[in-house]
């Protein structure tokens, strides 16, 4: 087991589910992302498809999927409790346009066909603020290449964080890679949340602590 896997398994074990939550978790089989889904190439041409990486409790993906039943939303999360929270919401509302990948997003990204997503969202990724932990941050040069491969031409990528280090790290790598345009023309473009994608659990937590959050929006070149 490498250090990332150790971290994941520790995190997965950290708080066990109640009996009721375990029952809800079993619903995953009804909403789980199946790789055969990607065989239907026509789907990507006719539908808008969104990917959220690390959806936490799933507030944003749930709200968007409910609002736009014709679009397809794929959510990735390895935190079991978060998956359970989203499952409860989508099962209560009987939403049919969300698929969940429960696991490490790195295991998913390299298995997907190119140019399938209209948008990819990464809201408040784990910041790994210490210099010695930089390698654990999700945003890396290789990942920027993977995201570029997966996004449709002119598709968008949204990244937010309340960690100044993470935001400067992200911006410097995106500028270096030059695969996306940064859609910021004035400070309000990165200071204000996007009109639709606001109010995640971690964004609210940051606001309660009076921490400033940053909202980056990129467009594939
Ligand atoms: C700081 S939380 C933010 C959650 C949510 N996006 C929000 O804004 O409230 C980061 C989330 O990313 C998930 N995560 C981190 N690394 C991941 C990975 N490699 N694969 C899947 N999920 C991951 C964590 O389990 C956690 O729920």
157-192 confidence digits (pLDDT tens): 999 999 999 999 999 999 999 999 999 999 999 999
pLDDT band, very low/low/confident/very high, at 88 (cuts 50, 70, 90): very high
Cα-to-centroid distance, 82 and ligand 1 (Å):
9
Is the confidence at residue 9, as pLDDT, over 80?
no
Residue of the nearest CA to atom 27 in ligand 1? 56
Q: Is the CB of 78 under 6 A from ligand 1?
A: yes
CATH 3.40.50.150 fits 3-220, yes or no: yes
pLDDT (tens digit, 9 = 90+) per residue, 114-172? 999 999 999 999 999 998 999 999 999 999 999 999 999 999 999 999 999 999 999 99
Residue ranges covered by each domain of the chain: 3-220
pLDDT band, very low/low/confident/very high, at 11 (cuts 50, 70, 90): very low
Is the confidence at residue 7, as pLDDT, over 80?
no
Q: What does the pLDDT read at residue 5?
A: 40
Q: Is 126 a catalytic residue?
A: yes
Sign of CA dihedral 43, 218, 196, 168: positive
Residue of the nearest CA to atom 25 in ligand 1? 79
| 170: alpha, beta or left? (left if phi > 0; alpha if psi -120 to 50) | alpha
Cα-to-centroid distance, 11 and ligand 1 (Å):
11
Beta bridge partners of 75: 52, 100
Share of the chain above pLDDT 70, in %: 93
pLDDT band, very low/low/confident/very high, at 12 (cuts 50, 70, 90): very low
pLDDT (tens digit, 9 = 90+) per residue, 35-77? 899 988 898 889 999 999 999 999 999 999 999 999 999 999 9
Q: Is the CB of 75 under 6 A from ligand 1?
A: no
Cα-to-centroid distance, 10 and ligand 1 (Å):
14
């Amino acid at each position: 087991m490498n250090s990332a896997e150790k971290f994941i398994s520790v995190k997965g074990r950290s708080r066990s589910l109640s009996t009721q939550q375990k029952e809800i978790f079993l619903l995953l089989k009804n909403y789980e992302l199946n790789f055969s889904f990607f065989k239907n190439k026509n789907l990507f041409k006719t539908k808008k498809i969104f990917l959220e990486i690390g959806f936490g409790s799933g507030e944003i993906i749930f709200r968007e999927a409910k609002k736009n039943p014709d679009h397809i939303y794929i959510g990735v999360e390895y935190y079991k409790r978060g998956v359970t929270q989203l499952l409860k919401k989508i099962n209560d509302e009987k939403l049919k346009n969300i698929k969940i990948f429960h696991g490490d997003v790195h295991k998913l990204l390299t298995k997907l066909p190119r140019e399938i997503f209209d948008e990819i969202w990464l809201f408040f990724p784990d910041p790994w603020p210490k210099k010695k932990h930089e390698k654990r941050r999700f945003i890396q040069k290789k990942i920027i290449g993977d995201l570029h491969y997966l996004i449709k031409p002119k598709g968008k990528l949204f990244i937010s964080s309340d960690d100044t280090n993470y935001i400067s790290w992200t911006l410097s790598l995106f500028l270096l890679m030059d695969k996306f345009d940064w859609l910021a023309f004035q400070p309000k473009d990165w200071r204000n949340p996007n009109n639709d994608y606001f109010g995640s659990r971690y964004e609210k937590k940051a606001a309660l602590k009076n921490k400033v959050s940053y909202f980056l929006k990129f467009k594939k070149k």
